[in-house]
Amino acid sequence: MTNVEAVRTTLHDALARDERVLIMGEDVGARGNVFLITKGFLEEFGAERVVDTPLAEASIVGVAIGMAMEGLRPIAEIQFADFIYPAFNQIVGEAAKTRYRSNGDYTCPLVIRTPYGGGVRGALSHSVSIEALFYHVPGLTILAPSTPADIKGLLNAAIECPDPVLFLEHKKTYRSVKGEVPSGYYTIPIGKADVKKAGTQLTVVSYGYNLHQALEAANRLEGEGVSVEVIDLRSIRPMDKGAILASVRKTRKLLIIHEDNKFGGIGAEISAMVAEEALFELDAPIRRLAGPDVPAMGYAQPLEEEFMTSTDEMVEAMRELAKF
């Protein structure tokens, strides 16, 4: 099963399992989503549970918040993460604060799904990574699974979560990543990272499309006798600090790889956390590979490739850090 098939199957099963679940967003009904994820859902579940909305992201999330507070389980889709900015106040100012501001009288069981990231020649308005814009916000869970099995388990967990979840799907992995998916209903606990590859000389923490590149780079280096441990973060907030610290204390070296801009990115938080809690257990400076500090990813292939970290660059960074 591919990543996009895992999203589609999990959404379909959620609609079939629980009448409180509904999907709303631009083109999710008659069009079946821009990636055809919800194709056929309108005919099967009806217009009250598969809701085509106007091009108005603030109202999509705002209406979904009201539905969630009144007992439904809305799954709001932002067609591309680049379009989420109009809904920023609804997500940060309303959804994330619902439980706190109502002293626990109301919760907001809302899932906001959106494809993010580059690598598909999406250019200026279809390539952004948004995780760093939201992970500063208490009350908001952010998930970014990388494999079909993790997508199913974490999307089910997100739908069950009583508080708002921002569910990020890297569009480059939609059809390029395949994997086995357990049958039947299951969830994966939110906030748990996964060691995708065990190693002893160096820890790499990543997620999304970069995770797959990091695994390829680590496998290449095995031929050189370099043992790299690769951790898939999966949950950006809450973050599995325990898994990161345990790995770093074993390997004593840390490389963080993400596609979002380097300045103020997830890597900065991980780096600060490890520096605070395990600095004197390190044998080398912490290193980050991330997107450059430019406003957007270009359309031209050389510009896109310049923005995105290549697998060869990861191999070289891992090799250098292992030798340090």
* Residues acting as catalytic residues: 126
Query: How many CA atoms within 13 Å lie on the side-chain side of 146?
Result: 23
* Contacts (Cβ under 8 Å, ≥6 apart) of 163: 98, 99, 107, 108, 109, 139, 140, 141
| DSSP code, position 37 | T
Judge contact between 116 and 81, C-beta under 8 A. yes
Complete edge-to-edge strand list for the sheet that includes strand 202-206: 194-197, 228-232, 202-206, 254-261, 287-291
Q: Which amino acid is at 215?
A: L
* Strands annotated E in 97-187: 111-116, 141-143, 165-170
Q: From CA 253, how far away is CA 233, in angstroms rounded?
A: 17
